[in-house]
A and B are shown apart, each in its own frame.
Chain A
Amino acid sequence: MIHIFSDYGGTLLYGLGQTLLCSILALIFSLILGTFFALLEESPSKVARGIARVYIEIFRNIPLLVITMFFYVVFPLYVIKMNGFTAGTIGLTLYTSAFIAETVRAGIQSVDPGQMEGARSNGLSFWQAMRYIILPQAFRYVIPPLGNQFVNLVKNSSTLAFVGGFDLMYQGNVIASSSLETIAAYSAVGVLYLVITMPISYYMRYLEKRLA
């Protein structure tokens, strides 16, 4: 396995970079989208709640790979051409945003309802109260599950390998087929995934214990 790192170090590092870049981009966008839909779900308007529910159920119940393939195969035919990396990042963002929406919503619900009442009776509008009173408190509870979502994102970004996204998994395949040492190549890839995911999950477990 060591010689895989020395022979193909550059390729592996490039793949690792793409995996990280894709995961971080998807995390940022899905955090924005997810919070948006969580707010819609908690809003007083029935229509808004319905829209949020449909969005969340659709992206939670369809496999990530189907969503990614949709953007890779269907989009270029009818809308706009995009490379594997873009299609994969969009797929990951939409898929993860549904899970983040659920997480953020649970966080909002865990804030004492008295906080909202207090804010409203002090003259803040519903959205002001959300923005300045509820969300800042909700995010404290949401950090450990969000960290676990990031671990999932890094793992799920391996779907980029299906669409030629040049991520870590893709490079692992290239190395496995060119060196013919499948086990060594996949172990090297596994080690690199673990370097990112293990510390984050252990840290999140620690945070969870401390918050509880």
Chain B
Amino acid sequence: MLQNFIDAYSPDNLRYLFGGLGITILVSIVSIIGSFIIGSILGVIRYVKIKYLSAIVGLIIDIIRNLPLILILFFTYFGLPNLGVKPEIIPAAILAMTIFESTMLAEIVRSGIQAVDPGQMEGARANGLTYWQGLWYIVLPQAMVKMIPAIVSQFISLVKDTSLATIILLPEMLYRSQIIYGQNTNYIIPMFVAIALMYFIVCYCLSVLARYLEKRQA
């Protein structure tokens, strides 16, 4: 049994697995940045109640939020070619993750803004700021501080969710571990231990960060 572990963690296999971790991190970081920007914009649109636009954006957010991520991955990777666009695997995965996580973040942003005391906006308006200035300089900075823990936990699930992109053959950790143990069934347990550990370390560090931010804020 021990020999299996030693054989499975050969330098070549480890390098291959860590390459997968790199792809997991790459896809996560790009999707985090993209979904943070898009999610904030969507959340604000949903909060400020622009005629028609906010209602339509709200409906789209609710639809995407209530679908499984795997389905969205299928749409971007297998569905888009039917419409004449053929994305590569990594962009398709990033696109799907960004679409899905933006809607999750939009909800966090909206409830974060709602949690700010309405007196703040009234004060800003009374001091001569326009509605948008009040939102940008007074309300949003306070809302962001309140939202940080929720946003970080959302990013933890984003990192975990990258594993679902194995289904469109994204060569990340889980996919690569399957290739390694596909060659030798003795490697199955070592491979599961390795990827579980790698995911755990990445996500646990993020959750420690989330908890620290939550404590500092309180």
Contacts and interface: CB of A to CB of B under 8 A. Distances in A.
B79 interface: yes
A169 B199 contact: no
Interface in A37-69: 57-58, 60-66, 69
Nearest to B159: A63
A100 to B, nearest CB: 15
Most chain B CB inside 10 Å of its own CB: which residue of A66, A182, A183, A189 = A66
Contacts of A63: 160-161, 163-164, 174, 199
A156 interface: yes
Nearest to A199: B66
Contact of A193 (B68, B181, B200): B68
A66 to B, nearest CB: 6
Contact of B67 (A61, A69, A155): A155
B188 interface: yes
Contacts of B181: 73
Contacts of A159: 70, 164
Nearest to A180: B82
B66 A151 contact: yes
Q: Which of B81, B163, B204 has the most CB of A within 10 A?
A: B163
Interface residues of B, number: 36
Contacts of A143: none
B188 A74 contact: yes
Interface in B36-90: 62-63, 65-71, 74-75, 78-79, 81-83
Contacts of A151: 66
B112 to A, nearest CB: 15
Given A183-B82, A193-B67, A201 B199 contact: no
A198 B65 CA distance: 9
B42 to A, nearest CB: 17
B146 to A, nearest CB: 16
Nearest to A154: B68
Given A77-B188, A158-B71, A183-B82, A66 B199 contact: yes
Contact of B74 (A69, A74, A176, A193): A176
B192 A189 contact: no
Given A66-B192, A66-B196, A183-B79, A193 B174 contact: no
- The binding surface of chain A is classed by DSSP as helix
A172 B207 CA distance: 35
B71 A182 contact: no
Contacts of A197: 66-67
B184 interface: no
B71 A186 contact: yes
B74 A155 contact: no
Nearest to B66: A197
B78 A176 contact: yes
Given A64-B160, A65-B164, A66-B163, A193 B66 contact: yes
A126 interface: no
B70 A158 contact: yes
28 contacts: A61-B156, A61-B207, A63-B163, A63-B164, A63-B199, A65-B163, A65-B166, A66-B174, A66-B192, A66-B196, A66-B199, A69-B192, A70-B196, A73-B192, A74-B188, A77-B185, A157-B68, A158-B71, A169-B71, A172-B71, A176-B74, A176-B78, A183-B83, A194-B67, A197-B67, A198-B63, A201-B65, A202-B62
Given A61-B207, A74-B189, A158-B71, 20 more contacts: A62-B160, A62-B196, A62-B200, A63-B164, A63-B174, A69-B192, A73-B188, A74-B188, A74-B192, A77-B188, A155-B66, A162-B166, A176-B78, A186-B79, A189-B71, A194-B63, A194-B66, A194-B67, A197-B67, A198-B62
Interface of A: 57-58, 60-66, 69-70, 73-74, 77, 151, 155-159, 161-162, 169, 172-173, 176, 181-183, 186, 189-190, 193-194, 197-198, 201-202
List of 5 A-B pairs having minimum Cβ-Cβ separation, nearest first: A158-B68, A61-B203, A197-B66, A63-B160, A63-B163
